[in-house]
Amino acid sequence: MSVAPHLLRPTRFVIDLDAVAENLRSVRRLVGAGRRIFAVVKAGGYGFGTLEMAEVFAVHGADALAFADLGDAIWARRQGVSLPILVFPSALPGAASEVIAHGLIPTLTDLDQARAYADAARGPCEAFVKVDAGLQRLGVAAEQAVEVIEAIAGLSPLRLGGVCTHLHAPPGADPAYVNWQFGRFTSVLEGLAGAGVEVPVRLAASSPLVMQHRHTYLSAVDPGSMLYGVPQSFATPPEVPLRPAFRALKARLISVKEVAPRERFAAEAPFPVQHRCGSASSRWGRPTGSGGSTTVASSCRDGRCPSWPRRRWSTRASTSPPSPTPSSATRSW
Ligand SMILES: Cc1ncc(COP(=O)(O)O)c(C=O)c1O
């Protein structure tokens, strides 16, 4: 006997797939037809669903996807995602054979890793190398990058597919700061060109750069948040309109009852009840894998009781299987 999904999980996260497609088209208009778009689907497609987002991006003209987690990337491949997948640095060199077996493109950050991939590869193996131009996190330091990348490019059977960086561009960043980092990256590219190292993909622009620093586009871009219309990333309004992927969170109440003030441990109550009032529960939160606690709203007609619980809830989507429709998808929590 099959049970309708909405009966099993009566809370639905409604995602606007048209909005995501439109945002991707906006990126395409900005960067032009000749540049590659690596659509970032890290963190479960920023919470909107890895597979749903991957499909929209594939259908509407992304050239590749980028994941931050190797496990997610392998899962997506196994689910049938066929676009090229770039995996940002996230795994140990011992995972090289898995990366290769799933046809993923690793992003390398040092020579030892590169050797592990060269050893594991049984045939040509495309790899990117990441340069740290200012974020001080992952990547070969810009000062050593030409030498290290030259050495990596010479490791058969590796094939240098691209050189990338992730610039530190917080909201309101001084353009001079962004340009300083970008200059460090382009110096590396110039050094590689001078050394005769061919770099097919040159990649530096995530959303803040795509939106506000057009000179950073190079041969490819890797936006994430702007594709989902997530506005927090931008200090000033984006130059192109972005539509939010988030359409609605719809929850059917699973329980409605009356609660009364309690005589014992009243101060410890999850939410204060000063007199008899209604308590309604919808099911989303930690028990359903979305990061918070089950949400309880109390309906208090004269407003004397607070309407939300003390514990906070958050909106991280679960990795439950997708159920897309042509223009929207819903995820059950
Ligand atoms: C290496 C890298 N590139 C691109 C992105 C996408 O960034 P954004 O969401 O700001 O476009 C991320 C996200 O954190 C990232 O880690």
Inside any domain, residue 55? yes
Q: Do residues 58 and 82 lie in contact, with contact meaning Cβ atoms separated by under 8 Å?
A: yes
**What are the pLDDT digits (tens) for 41-58?**
999 999 999 999 999 999
Instruction: Determine whether the shortest distance from the Cβ of 207 to ligand 1 is under 6 A.
Output: yes
Predicted local confidence at residue 326, as pLDDT: 42
Q: In a mutational test of the pocket of ligand 1, which residue from 136, 165, 206 has the highest number of ligand atoms less than 8 Å from its CB?
A: 206
For the chain, how big is the Rg over CA atoms in Å? Answer: 24
Does 171 score more than 90 pLDDT? no
- Residue entry with tokens 């060109």: 193
Inside any domain, residue 221? yes
State the CB neighbour count (10 A cutoff) for residue 88. Answer: 23
Instruction: Determine whether the shortest distance from the Cβ of 298 to ligand 1 is under 6 A.
Output: no
Atom of ligand 1 nearest to the CA of 210: 11
- How far apart CA 72 and CA 316 sit, in angstroms, is 15
| CATH number where 64 lies | 3.20.20.10
- How far apart CA 287 and CA 214 sit, in angstroms, is 44
Inside any domain, residue 296? no
Confidence of residue 323 (pLDDT cuts 50, 70, 90): very low
- Residue entry with tokens 């990061």: 291
State the CB neighbour count (10 A cutoff) for residue 295. Answer: 18
Q: Which ranges in the chain belong to alpha helices (H)?
A: 5-8, 17-31, 42-46, 50-59, 70-78, 96-101, 111-120, 142-153, 175-194, 207-212
**Number of domains within the chain:** 1
Q: What would the DSSP string read from start to end of 15-27?
A: EEHHHHHHHHHHH
Inside any domain, residue 108? yes
Handedness of CA 24, 29, 31, 33 (dihedral sign): positive
Inside any domain, residue 325? no
Side-chain half-sphere exposure of 143, counting CA atoms within 13 A: 1
Does 12 score more than 80 pLDDT? yes
Instruction: Determine whether the shortest distance from the Cβ of 225 to ligand 1 is under 6 A.
Output: yes
Q: In a mutational test of the pocket of ligand 1, which residue from 24, 42, 233 has the highest number of ligand atoms less than 8 Å from its CB?
A: 42
Inside any domain, residue 116? yes
Question: By residue range, what is the domain housing residue 213?
Answer: 17-243
Instruction: Determine whether the shortest distance from the Cβ of 26 to ligand 1 is under 6 A.
Output: no
Inside any domain, residue 273? no
Inside any domain, residue 323? no
Q: What would the DSSP string read from start to end of 211-250?
A: HH-GGG-TTEE---GGGGT-GGG-SS--SS----SEEEEE
Instruction: Determine whether the shortest distance from the Cβ of 40 to ligand 1 is under 6 A.
Output: yes
Predicted local confidence at residue 124, as pLDDT: 94
**What are the pLDDT digits (tens) for 251-305?**
888 888 988 889 999 888 887 788 888 888 877 665 555 544 455 555 665 666 6
CA 206–ligand 1 middle distance (angstroms): 5
* Percentage of the chain exceeding pLDDT 70: 82
